[in-house]
């Protein structure tokens, strides 16, 4: 399984960015995928997840601003980030489970990870 993130990496406060994650060697259409982030000196935290049936979950800090979605035909996961704040600055990672349900934002529950992409929001 390989996950490859891509997308714009820098924006000013209040701006928008869109991240993409292409999955290979993995059937994303019916399985859980998610986005995590890690800022310097902080633990990796869950941002958003999407179940095999399309049910989505968001961290409180991003609700109403971020949207997770999947294009099953293209095996691609997206994270649309709006109204970005400096505190959203972090390395963002795409992650996947071989299960239908995501259950939690615990990183150890996700065996597959992308290499990460840096997102910087300047004030």
pLDDT at 89: 97
Candidates 9, 49, 1, 3; CA nearest to 22 is: 3
Strand partners, 34: 49, 95
Q: Which residues contact 47 (CB under 8 A, 6 or more apart)?
A: 34, 35, 36, 37, 58, 59, 62, 66, 68, 79, 92
Question: For residue 28, what pLDDT is reported?
Answer: 65
Q: How many CB atoms lie within 10 A of CB 82?
A: 14
Q: Which pLDDT tens digits describe the chain residue by residue (123 residues)?
A: 899 998 878 999 999 999 999 998 877 678 899 999 999 999 999 999 999 889 999 999 999 999 999 998 899 999 999 999 999 999 999 999 988 899 888 999 999 999 999 999 999
Cα–Cα dist 98/101, whole Å: 9
- Cα separation, 39 vs 45, whole angstroms: 9
Q: What pLDDT, on the 0 to 100 scale, is given for residue 33?
A: 94
């Amino acid at each position: 399984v390989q996950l490859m993130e891509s997308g714009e990496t820098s924006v000013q406060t209040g701006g928008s960015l869109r991240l993409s994650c292409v999955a290979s060697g993995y059937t994303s259409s019916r399985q859980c995928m998610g986005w995590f982030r890690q800022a310097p000196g902080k633990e990796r935290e869950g941002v958003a997840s999407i179940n095999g049936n399309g049910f989505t979950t968001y961290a409180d800090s991003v609700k109403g601003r971020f949207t997770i979605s999947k294009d099953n035909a293209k095996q691609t996961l997206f994270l649309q980030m709006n109204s970005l704040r400096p505190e959203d600055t972090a390395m963002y990672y795409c992650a996947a489970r071989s299960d239908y349900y995501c259950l939690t934002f615990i990183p150890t529950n996700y065996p597959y990870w992308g290499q990460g992409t840096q997102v910087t929001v300047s004030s």
